[in-house]
């Protein structure tokens, strides 16, 4: 666990944060979300210029449901393990900041950045109630993070997620408008990117990007247009969300059915990596 005595190499972290920040300019950034060390390292080996955590993936992997129940200390330890094994920048999801107040959120983000991340995602709803936080309260949290960026002298990338499309009130149109209103408020609070969870329709994506004139993050899910089209729609970054975990668990379920029903191992063996390759994924690339 990253403790208060942990020292950050501010210059190295600042350089890495700038490296990650620069990936948000130019070509669309495709950001794969990992759940543990080897899943992150596979993404790095595949050629992604940066990697993110999936909070749901990390938490479930460690026996906690998505949310803040894992506790900030366990979560930061996981971020530190992953960051320590990567040579590319790591962005970490911090759920709602592990706390209600701006100062708690800032303290959580500080721990995550100290652990090696150089970007964060933060949500605007409460997991237990599935209710959106009032915009002003979320803006206060975001302002605390912007201030933290200055005080740490590490220009980490703040990706402000809104769940208005899921937990807003009214019909789809009203929810999209709420997501736009929140996106603008978060943008004006000084974040670097806005992430409307659940935005998949090309027309809605286009409207959202135009309404904000600001970097927008979308997540891979059924119905999301291919990367090329997302680029044409003006999307700045597309992240996997927990889909790598969903895919891996689906694979294990299929492999199990094959073994139990047919007594064969094709799903387990086909396209698998080797023992030596797995072992190499435990630590930094040589």
CB of 229 vs a copy of itself, minimal distance in Å: 8
For 7, phi then psi, to 5°, come to: -100, 140
Residue spans of alpha helices (H) in 101-169: 102-114, 135-152, 164-167
Pair 217, 29: CB distance under 8 Å: no
CB of 276 vs a copy of itself, minimal distance in Å: 10
- In the complex with a copy of itself, the residue whose CB is nearer, 135 or 216, is 216
Pair 51, 20: CB distance under 8 Å: no
Within 10 A of 139 (CB to CB), how many other CB atoms are there? 21
- In the complex with a copy of itself, the residue whose CB is nearer, 87 or 213, is 87
CB of 198 vs a copy of itself, minimal distance in Å: 11
- In the complex with a copy of itself, the residue whose CB is nearer, 62 or 146, is 62
For 81, phi then psi, to 5°, come to: -60, -45
CB of 143 vs a copy of itself, minimal distance in Å: 30
State the DSSP string of 130-147.
TEEPPHHHHHHHHHHHHH
Q: Are strands 33-34 and 90-93 parallel, antiparallel or unpaired?
A: unpaired
Enumerate residues 6+ apart whose C-beta is below 8 A from 32: 43, 46, 48, 51, 52, 239, 240, 244
- In the complex with a copy of itself, the residue whose CB is nearer, 66 or 143, is 66
CB of 190 vs a copy of itself, minimal distance in Å: 30
β partners of residue 157: 119
- In the complex with a copy of itself, the residue whose CB is nearer, 88 or 135, is 88
Q: What would the two tokens of residue 212 be? A: 């904000």
- In the complex with a copy of itself, the residue whose CB is nearer, 65 or 153, is 65
- In the complex with a copy of itself, the residue whose CB is nearer, 72 or 244, is 244
3-state secondary structure (DSSP) of residue 13: helix
C-alpha 70/C-alpha 214 separation (Å) is 33
CB of 137 vs a copy of itself, minimal distance in Å: 25
- In the complex with a copy of itself, the residue whose CB is nearer, 101 or 264, is 264
CB of 27 vs a copy of itself, minimal distance in Å: 11
Pair 102, 95: CB distance under 8 Å: no
Report DSSP state, residue 217: E
CB of 67 vs a copy of itself, minimal distance in Å: 9
């Amino acid at each position: 666990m990253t403790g208060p005595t942990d020292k950050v190499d501010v210059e190295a972290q600042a350089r890495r944060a700038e490296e990650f920040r620069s990936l948000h300019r130019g070509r669309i950034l495709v950001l794969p979300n990992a759940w543990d060390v080897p899943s992150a390292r596979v993404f790095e080996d595949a050629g992604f210029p940066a990697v993110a955590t999936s909070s749901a993936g990390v938490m479930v992997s460690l026996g906690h449901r998505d949310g803040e129940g894992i506790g900030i200390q366990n979560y930061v330890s996981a971020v530190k393990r992953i960051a320590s094994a990567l040579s590319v920048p790591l962005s970490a999801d911090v759920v709602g900041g592990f706390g209600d107040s701006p100062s708690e959120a800032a303290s959580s983000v500080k721990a995550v950045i100290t652990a090696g991340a150089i970007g964060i995602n933060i949500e605007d709803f409460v997991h237990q109630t599935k209710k959106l936080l009032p915009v002003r309260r979320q803006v206060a949290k975001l302002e605390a993070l912007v201030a933290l960026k200055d005080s740490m002298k590490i220009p980490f990338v703040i990706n402000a997620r809104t769940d208005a499309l899921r937990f807003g009130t009214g019909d789809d149109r009203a929810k999209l408008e709420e997501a736009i209103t929140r996106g603008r408020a978060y943008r004006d609070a000084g974040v670097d990117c806005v992430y409307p969870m659940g935005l998949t329709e090309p027309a809605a994506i286009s409207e959202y990007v135009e309404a904000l004139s600001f970097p927008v993050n979308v997540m891979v899910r059924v119905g999301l247009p291919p990367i090329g089209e997302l680029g044409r729609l003006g999307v700045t970054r597309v992240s996997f969300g927990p889909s790598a975990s969903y895919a891996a668990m689906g694979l294990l379920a299929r492999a199990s059915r094959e073994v139990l029903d047919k007594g064969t191992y094709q799903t387990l063996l086909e396209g698998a990596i080797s023992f030596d390759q797995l072992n190499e994924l435990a630590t930094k690339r040589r």
